[in-house]
Structure 1
Amino acid sequence: MSTWLDRPLSFAGRVIINQDNNLISKVINIKEPVFIIPNVCIHFNRQINNGYAYNIANDMQPLVSQDKQFDYINDKISHALNIEKKDIINYDLFLYNFEKGYLWGENNEFISSPRLDDLECAFIESESLIDIDNDKNINVGVFFDNEEVGSSSLQGANSDFLVNTLKRINNALNFSEEDFLCAISKSFMISSDNAHAVHPSNSSLTDPDNKVYMNKGIVIKFNASQSYTSDGLTSAYMQKLCIDSNIPYQFFTNRADIRGGSTLGNISLGQLSLRSVDIGLGQLAMHSSFETAGSEDIVYLYEVLKTFYTK
């Protein structure tokens, strides 16, 4: 939580408005800094550098104004959407770090930005899908929401959104149920979500035999508890894709005594059984409000995914 403090924040999301007596959904993004979550100064919290447990209710409240009568949120929404405040019915709004991303390092080999995990892979995947030309296969890119809160929402990976969409495509092409099941059995999924690179000051947190570095290529991820979907066959296919694309690759698994995260790959397989591999790009400070990754890896993943979609 601490990385959210003392940074410029804005808000974005969905607003439900009344328009001609109908409920209309509008996407909104206030593209300017409007909030700060201020830290308590060290004079009032002199033990903070020895470790501090932030209280969500007290310490994480954003400041927008000292005027308690100021209806800032609704004023900002009505101005941005060019509507009257009385027409605002409800909204789903979220704070985000307003800081801009940038390249840095001796040769601009690093990129730092909010939300690299996992908009980095999502962006690369969408760009590679758009840029290929393949009329022999049905290529699919799917992006789920609510990963960090369980994926059990309407738009989460644990919903039937993906399988139902694929079935509708199958039906629109006048294929049978058997055709659909056969197509799924011959399909392959790449679950792309960033991976932990070796921290320069804390390398002991990484498995000594599976160290991941930024700008060293695609990361193929394994986990004995099946929190990643990779196995011997699917990782071999991924390795071949990298070799065919002349792209470097590396392997990741957590230290045996440190529990890692999971991805949407294995959650999706609960709804749709097909071969899958979990990959990602090495990064630092995952889940910080400002993360760091390797700029060269962006090109590596783009080229590999173009090869995948073409074949």
Structure 2
Amino acid sequence: MNQETKEIISLLKNSPSVFHVVKNISDKLLEKGFMELDEHKPFIVEKGKNYFVRRNSSSIIAFKIPLNCQDLSFLGTATHNDSPTYKLKPHPFVKKGNLTLLDVEPYGGMIHSTWLDRPLSLAGRVLLGKGEKIEEKLFNINRPLLTIPNLAIHMNRNINDGYAYNPAVDLLPLFGEDLKEDDSFESFLLKELGEKKGVSLLSHDLYLYNFDEPRAFGIKEEFLSSPKLDDLASVYSSLLGFLESENERKISLFASFDNEEVGSLSRQGANSTFLKDTYNRLSKALEGHLEEDCANSFLLSIDNAHANHPNHLEKSDQTTNVLLNKGIVIKSNANQSYTTDALGSAIIKMAASKGNIPYQEFTNRSDLRGGSTLGNISNSELSLLSCDIGLPQLAMHSANETMGLKDLDYMRRFVSLFFGTKIHFEGNSFFFD
């Protein structure tokens, strides 16, 4: 395992919520000399410098502007940083006898059963009232705090025949026992934060997370088991590829959006104006030609792909095999769930071949509806030539997912190569210089 892969795994380990993910990305960018822009103020940017901007603390766009760039066209990657989980309700305490549970609701489409009978914890952000000021703070209880206990088989004899978990009944996590009448969730949070008197909890965005750590396994430790591989494995591998790349001609752009798992319709989602607003403001600041520059740009939508499941090969398409540790995946769908077309696919194949990076192709079985992702969603606001790629994985949307360790490095190397590509377009043809 090389140092870059170890770094990706370390970042996975320290990503209990989307807010922590964006903080991790911001810290990496600041380490590399990037400067943060504020959406509430004018963008003052210069060629030869690197910048990033955040929206709602859960989405981020970074870009590198070459000193000698001839125009403002860009090569970009777009990922999502959210994963299926359970969100805490505003007043979560539920008393059942001597026990206290937390009231939660599902966020996204998870495999419910995988969240039961395992150590869980709580992370996100809280908004505190301090005099006339509202202050945002990251929050993470970095220890096992909760579990969602199954009903014993003696009380549910048919559970192994298939059981439909009811989120309002079956999926409330166990929090504590014998809480006093005046104990409140607010006082618990303020105590965990170490806040003094005079501070009030105004609101929170808090989510459950699986306390299991990422682990290599297999006879040669060739596989990785981890929470949130979809899509943090792509987020962090593409981030490292972005940071280590150089391009003297085109702007390099890295974007990571929140709320893909619930449709991307929020103001920080891929269907928001975040990418369009950022690029418009960059274009105005540097006196670019927006329409021409967009036409000469290319975006990679990077979200994980389904590998062939060894126990259920019949669920995969009969002509496209996607295997762990065999390379990045180009994803296609006739009904435009993905942005990939022949032109975008050809660009990816040529770029991968130039770097000796293996690639595979994915399509769903024709009688199975697959998921969608953020590529075409973001294209509704800023239309770009694009292609959907991803990392092959098993058990997507499980509390623990599985992928091949080699593929992490293939993606990092491919993204680095992609950002360094000197590509230009002439009509429907393209050229690698």
Could you say which residue in structure 1 is the equivalent of 2:257? 144
Which among 180, 183, 190 is matched to residue 78 of structure 1?
190
Shift of 1:9: 0.8
Structure 1 segments (4+ residues) deviating >6 Å: none
Bigger fraction of residues in helix: 1
Residues 153-302 of structure 1: pairs in structure 2 closer than 5 A = 153-175=266-288, 179-302=289-412
What is the 5 A alignment of 1:22-61?
22-61=133-172
**1:76 CA drift (Å):** 4.3
The 2-side partners of 1:146 and 1:90 are apart by 19
Which SS does the other structure have where 1:55 is aligned?
coil
Q: TM-score, normalised by structure 1?
A: 0.96
Change (3 A) 1:272 1:39: same
The alignment's C-alpha RMSD in Å is 1.3
Does the residue aligned with 2:152 lie in a helix, a strand or coil? coil
How far apart are residue 73 of structure 1 and its match? Answer: 4.0
Q: Does 1:112 align with 2:222?
A: no
Deviation at 1:134, TM superposition (A): 2.7
Q: Deviations over 1:154-205 (max 9, x none)?
A: 1111111110011111122133xxx011111100000000000111111000
Please state how far the C-alpha of 1:69 moved relative to its aligned partner. Answer: 3.4
AA aligned to 1:22 is K
Q: Deviations over 1:52-101 (max 9, x none)?
A: 11111100001011224374743443234321475211111111111101
Moved more, 130-139 or 34-43: 130-139
The alignment partner of 1:183 has SS state of helix
Q: Deviations over 1:8-66 (max 9, x none)?
A: 11111111001232111111121111010110011110100011111111000010112
Give the Cα separation in 2 of the matches to 1:215 and 1:73. Answer: 45
Unaligned 5+ runs, structure 1 = none
Q: Pick closer, same or farther for the CA change 1:287–1:37 going to 2, 3 Å.
A: same
Provide the C-alpha distance between the structure 1 equivalents of 2:234 and 2:210, rounded to a whole number of angstroms.
19
Aligned residues: 308
> 2:398 & 2:294 partners in 1: Cα distance?
36
What is the rounded CA distance, in whole Å, between the counterparts of 1:191 and 1:119 in structure 2? 13
In 2, Cα distance between equivalents of 1:6 and 1:73: 23
What TM-score, normalized to structure 2? 0.69
More strand by share: 2
Q: What amino acid maps onto 1:268 in structure 2?
A: S
